Structure 1
Amino acid sequence: MAFKRVLFSKNVFVLLFGIFTRTSADGNIAALKTAEQSSDYFDYKWLAGAAVDGCETTNIESNCCTHTMTDGSPKTAWWRVDLGQMSSINTIQIIYRNEITKDKERTAGYQLYISNFTDSPTHGVLCYEERSITKDTVQLKITHRCPYVGRYITVYNYRNNPKRYEWYADDAILSLCEVKASGCPVGFHGDGDCSQACPDSCYGGNCHSNTGFCFQCILGKYGDTCGQDCSVNCKDRLCAKDTGYCTDCINGKYGDTCGQDCSVNCKDRLCAKDTGYCTDCINGKYGDTCGQDCSVNCKDRLCAKDTGYCTDCINGKYGDTCGQDCSVNCKDRLCAKDTGYCTDCINGKYGDTCPEDCSVNCKDRLCAKDTGFCTECVPGKYGNGCEHNCSVNCNDILCEKETAYCIDCVPGRYGSICNQKCSDNCKDRFCDKVTGNCTECTNGKHGDACDIDCPKNCKDNVCIRKTGHCYDCIIGKYDATCALTCPVTCKNFVCDQQTGQCLECYAGKYGFVCGADCLDTCTDSTCNKDDGHCISTADHKLIIIAVQAVIIGLLIAAFITTVICLLRIIQNRKKSSGNDKESSVPDPNYTSLSNEQEGAPHVYEMIVK
């Protein structure tokens, strides 16, 4: 069985004693107390109480020993005594049966527990485990130092499969002749009689059953009997029980009893308890106790506490303590703190510390800091260092820096470096830079390269570049390529370029190709070109005269109306000037000279008059 782990809880209060020099002389607090065991070999003898009856005879027939069951091959066995109350235990003595060879095989491997509960035999603190390697080394009478506080003492044995050692007994059997415990009830001590109370300053009222020394002290106390006060500078008033040394110090103090002041240069006045070394320094200081000044070249006066090395440098400086100057060729005098390498260079320089000159062919003398390659070239140059000349066929001698490809070509040239000639049939020798196709053709040519003749019947010998279709045809021709002849019946031999329909017919003719005759009844033999309907010359004249008469009448009416309005306005002004107080509202008693309402004459009446 694996070793049981020591358990500490609010329900089990367990305290280790120190190493004592005195021999225990107190009484047996287990004597005649209530005991029980996992099973009884007989119902009337060898019961659990036999191990606390004061009889130490190790012969089973003396009825001074216990014995658990053997039937059924038990794999666990336990015996337990109830001390009756929480007790400060010093030692526990085990006296095992000692009369047959199997006694050592049976007792080997037992465990001794102290606990406050009985829910499990192994619930508590493991005080001792028998781990003899050989049967001969097993002790059947032994005293164990068990400096713990508890109520129950349990002896436990088990047999795993496989057993720890082959010589172990197969079954778990306990046969205890006596179990004795020295100590006192909690809160008392004394040399055998437990008549004296533990000091009030002992934590929980617990002390050593012989000496009366406290196991632990209440807060703020230390010493054997916890009669001395911890330093007021101890954090939370906690100090070591034996020495009084503070567990930790309040802010600003250090030392065993926290009686020394941390340096004023310690940040927040915090320092190590043992050495007084500052946890951190205030700005501008470094060292164990922050007594040294950071370099004035440290940015914000910040430096490492241990070395004094600057966290960063002010502009223009570099190095551990920022004591070196950045190169004058560094842009804004900025360089890396560790190497002094420029962050960037001033115009015209490159390199780690910018000592090298950029090429004169770099536009604005700008080049990459690491390589010196030009950012851009002056006109007419290309290459990393702009050391090569662009082609003379590049328009304005401009080409791309990396490829030398011309941005554009001079007239008459095309290609990436403009080394190919445009067709002579390209108008003004202009062609596409990539394909060489003409932008426009000279008269009489069409096609991408303008190498195909326009149709001969195109007017002015001009046609569309892509299709070769005529923009217009010479007189007497129509169709996209002007290959068809207009009808001879068309007036002046002119027809529509797309359909071949006559645009105008000779007198007395009408129709699509002017092939039909107008009716003889049409005046002057004139008829509509599309449907042949007559157009009368007399009717034309009457319509014109009627229109002219209407226009003249409207003009006369407008003139008369304007004159009448002006006369009324003049008359009203004279009346108003003669009498300023005269109302502009007509007199309700006013009557007209006639029964008819006055008004402007109708336009047609005026024409008749």
Structure 2
Amino acid sequence: MRGNVVQNSFDWWQVDLGNIHSVYMIRILFRDYEESGDYVKRQRGRMAGFSLYLSNTSKIKDGLLCYKDGPGLPPLNFTTDCVGFGRFVTFYNERWLSKTYPDDYFSVLTELCEVNVQGCNASYKYGSECNLPCPKNCQDRHCYITNGTCLGCNSGWTGETCNKSCAPGSYGIECKHHCKGHCMNNVPCNHTTGKCDRECEYGWFGIYCNEVCPVGTYDVHCRKNCSGNCWNGSNCNVVTGKCDYGCRPGYLGEYCKEECSQGLFGNACNNNCSGQCLHVNNETCHHVDGVCLKGCNNGFHGKFCDRICPSGQFGFNCSKTCSRNCMDNCSHTEGSCTCAPGWMGSPNCTTKCASGMYGINCQFTCSGHCAHEKICSRFDGHCPMGCKSPYVGLTCDYTSNVLSISVSISSTGALACVVYLIVKRCIFNTNKKQSSTSTLKEESKVEQSGADTNKDRVSYQQLSEIENKNYEELKIEGNPYVELP
């Protein structure tokens, strides 16, 4: 039922007290027609259902609803308690056709003769004479004007007069929050702010000490850095900074800040560098993995300098090639070698034998008995145009008249021996000539190319072997009596 409500309507009235005050009571005097009871009832029906708000701003419903009338009719001289704090007092009433009201309600018509707001001018005072201070921990120092109890407590306090701190482990308004940090020595956080009054526990930081220290830091508030060299990437001890599980390869000490001494590397610095690392500014191999930092000594290669240069190479980083004039492979460090026949010079046999010298490292002297004053071959010492008389042999270092020294021997056995020697010498000379011819051809090839090859070297060696075999292996078969030419 709508009663006597015939249209939608609302009405309001507001007073600005100038400042926020502690309010205790509001008295309203409505207009009274002082006529018959019907007029009074109608006037009360117009006022019925009103609301009183106490707020700090002019927005009505942002404040405290300190009185709501109904369902009966209010007296025209109305008084109610309205305990709170505010600057604005608002009277508000409304009628809506969509709502149901009592039969004696009429459409809104506000006729206020007087509004009286009672309280204390100072919001932090209370009592009948407004001379008592509100408790210091009341929120905004506001308390009930009648008995001084707090309307609310400051952060960290509780109780009617806010004289009790929050229980340990809780903090904030109405002590609703729980400490979430790790204060040093497990001391509870501040009951007001929730922060740690002193310092965070080791391994924690932040204003509430609820953030874990980043990996690689330690000490109070994570203010120090770990060495970063703990075993297998583990973090250091958050209290001491020491590496509890040891050091990663290349480091020593409780904090793993000390690098291995020069010449050592690896886990616990137990490994020795290869010994072939190039020393530059006192550096050898890397203290972690043993890799040679500045390269290798001559004759070695690989990241650890633990491999000898491949055959035929020598020097720094094995970047040089052995001379082709070496008899065998050269030294892997400086390239020195035994020179092949016809060559000399340190370290790599690049100089031809001097005139009159021949053989390996040019260590032999030509006989000086070559025909036509020719110089012997620098490779095997043979005379290219034969020997001066009476010299014979590949190198012309034997004389033919040495064969007649036994002719005067008169015994048959001795004569047979002389004949044997003569036959052997003839055969030797014949072979020498054949070898000489072969050697001349070989020398011609070497001189044309300007350098010898490994194949050439083998030929020179064979020449020497042939000469030895002529002395050791030739036997006289058949008729031992051979006439010398």
Same fold (TM over 0.5): no
- The two structures have a TM-score, normalised by structure 2, of 0.33
- The two structures have a TM-score, normalised by structure 1, of 0.27
Larger RCO of the pair (alpha carbons < 8 Å, separation 6+): 2
Structure whose residues are more often strand by fraction: 2
